[in-house]
Amino acid sequence: MDTPESCKSEELCTELLQSQTGVTSISTESVTQTLRLRVFGVLHWVVSLGLILATDFLLKKAFAAASIEFPSALFGMFCIFSVLIILDYAVPSAAVAFEKFFEPGIVFIQRWLPLFYVPYLVVLPLSLKEIPASSAIKICLIVVGGWLATLCVTGLTAIGVRKAVKTELLDAEPMEKPSPFSSIEVCAWTGVLLISFAASLVFPTALGTRARTYLPFLLASTVLGYMIGSRLPSSLKKVFHPIIFCAASAELAAIALGFLSKSGLDAVLGYYVTNSSSNPGAGDILMGFLGSVILSFAFAMFKQKKLVKRHAAEIFTSVIISTIFSLYSTAIVGRLLSLEQSLTVSILPRCITVALAVSIVSFFEGANASVTAAAVVVTGLVGANFVQSTLDKLRLRDPIARGIATASSCHGLGTAALSAKEPEALPFCAIAYALNGIFGSILCSIPAFRQSLLAVIG
């Protein structure tokens, strides 16, 4: 390093050089430490998420090999929750460490959760081709009317039980909100979209099959659509919910690719969801996370274990009544409107999160999983837009009732909409959101209960 001419003495120059060296050393150490922390953070995220996905995969394989119809992810959720409770009782510090270890993976799942619903909407045109317009109108009536009825029944039940037990509201544990998407992330996925689009047109079978070659482009169009939809102003989100914006983005991308490649929309959608583990499409990759969503419920319930224990009467009574009412009312109205049996069965779990709703309809022969997912998402969208104003008109002010009623009638999307403005209701939303799907899955796994629903449908 050259000695500055302004230095008039050797001592001054030495001090200056030492000062400069010291600053450089501290800066280098700081950068190195920052890089180490980031590398460690990435590895922590990869391991925690990888273990969750591996657990879901192994459980699916084990249940399939044993021919067990009960949802494997739901069993895994019970196991994780039980382990957390046992550790919390025996070694509380171990329970906290266990929860903290999986936190990066859980935060990732929560951040992207709505995205995992989208593939069912994207391929919906393939499923709706044979559904008459009159049947589609009946489904819409059942979904919208059923949402309102379930909201009222659940909210009033929660209020009634709350008045009977007279427990004071306990403060909930704070729940971390996922970070918003940055401009860098949007730009990165835009680059992937453009490059993969060109590659799909120029080298359609570069990776062996069109499904594999189209996968990066169709995945990027879906992810980018969700990112942009999430960054829209609140006024636009009321019209274009991030899920709708995301599904539309993926659909338009499929239309463009089908037109320019001359393969057609139906063929591209067939590559989007192949239902093949050896040759998956973009939709298969996204739907592969649905099991991990169910496993994450264990951590959400454990975090609010004190709340569950204190308000167990309100929560469990409301959720049980809500789930039974939702399933049977859908069956009854479907029969009254003369809706086809297969379609009525498909929309039975309209108020249950799609991750479990699809598992539930698998118990019934002839059910259409795409119709199920569409009914669930539409229910959520209706709730997300109208749940708060409807609860106000019903004069349901209690945060317990508002949270349970919202999650039980419009699951995750309604939960996200309500919690954004009423954080005090979020814990009850999270609990009811999980329990509603759990109880519905348990009921529909019982043959006698399934037969009773089919008897009502006729």
pLDDT digits (tens, 9 = 90+) for 268-306: 999 998 888 888 999 999 988 988 888 888 887 788 788
Q: For the chain, what is the mean pLDDT? A: 84
Q: pLDDT higher for 46 or 418?
A: 46
pLDDT band per the 50, 70, 90 thresholds, residue 433: confident
pLDDT band per the 50, 70, 90 thresholds, residue 427: confident
pLDDT over 60 (residue 438): yes
Question: What is the rounded average pLDDT of the residues 316-323?
Answer: 92
Question: How far, in Å, CA of 381 to CA of 379, rounded?
Answer: 6
Q: pLDDT higher for 4 or 93?
A: 93
Q: Which two tokens stand for residue 219?
A: 């995945």
Question: What is the rounded average pLDDT of the residues 320-341?
Answer: 93
Question: What is the rounded average pLDDT of the residues 84-100?
Answer: 92
pTM recorded for the entire structure? 0.78
Q: Which two tokens stand for residue 309?
A: 């224990």
Residue 406 burial by Cβ neighbours in a 10 Å radius (0-12, 13-18, 19+):
buried
Q: Give me the pLDDT at residue 17, please.
A: 44
Q: Give me the pLDDT at residue 382, please.
A: 85
Count the neighbouring beta carbons within 10 Å of the beta carbon of residue 192. 17
Residue 278 burial by Cβ neighbours in a 10 Å radius (0-12, 13-18, 19+):
exposed
pLDDT band per the 50, 70, 90 thresholds, residue 87: very high
Question: What is the rounded average pLDDT of the residues 301-313?
Answer: 81
Q: Give me the pLDDT at residue 16, please.
A: 43
| Sign of the CA dihedral with 197 first, then 201, 207, and 209 last | positive
Residue 286 burial by Cβ neighbours in a 10 Å radius (0-12, 13-18, 19+):
buried
Q: Give me the pLDDT at residue 119, please.
A: 85
Which H helix or E strand runs over 138? helix 133-165
pLDDT band per the 50, 70, 90 thresholds, residue 1: very low
Question: How far, in Å, CA of 102 to CA of 283, rounded?
Answer: 25
Q: Give me the pLDDT at residue 7, please.
A: 47
Cβ contacts of residue 71 below 8 Å, gap of 6+?
Answer: 294, 356, 359, 360, 441, 445
Q: Are 402 and 396 in contact (CB under 8 A)?
A: yes
Q: Choose the weakest-confidence range: 19-28, 51-60, 154-163, 185-194.
A: 19-28
Count the neighbouring beta carbons within 10 Å of the beta carbon of residue 109. 21
Q: Are 379 and 143 in contact (CB under 8 A)?
A: yes
Question: How far, in Å, CA of 340 to CA of 421, rounded?
Answer: 39
pLDDT over 90 (residue 326): yes
Question: What is the rounded average pLDDT of the residues 147-158?
Answer: 91
CA atoms within 13 A on the CB side of 19: 6
Q: Are 413 and 354 in contact (CB under 8 A)?
A: no
Question: How far, in Å, CA of 244 to CA of 377, rounded?
Answer: 9
Task: Express each pLDDT in 341-365 by its tens digit.
Answer: 989 999 999 888 877 888 888 888 8
Task: Express each pLDDT in 33-78 by its tens digit.
Answer: 778 888 888 899 999 999 999 999 999 999 889 888 777 888 888 8
Q: Which residue matches tokens 């994207």?
A: 122
Q: Give me the pLDDT at residue 169, please.
A: 66
pLDDT over 70 (residue 172): no
pLDDT band per the 50, 70, 90 thresholds, residue 13: low
Q: Give me the pLDDT at residue 6, please.
A: 46
The proportion of the chain whose per-residue pLDDT surpasses 70, expressed as a percent, equals 90
Q: Give me the pLDDT at residue 27, please.
A: 62
Amino acid identity for residue 42 in this structure = V
Task: Express each pLDDT in 229-260 by its tens digit.
Answer: 888 887 777 677 788 888 889 999 999 999 99
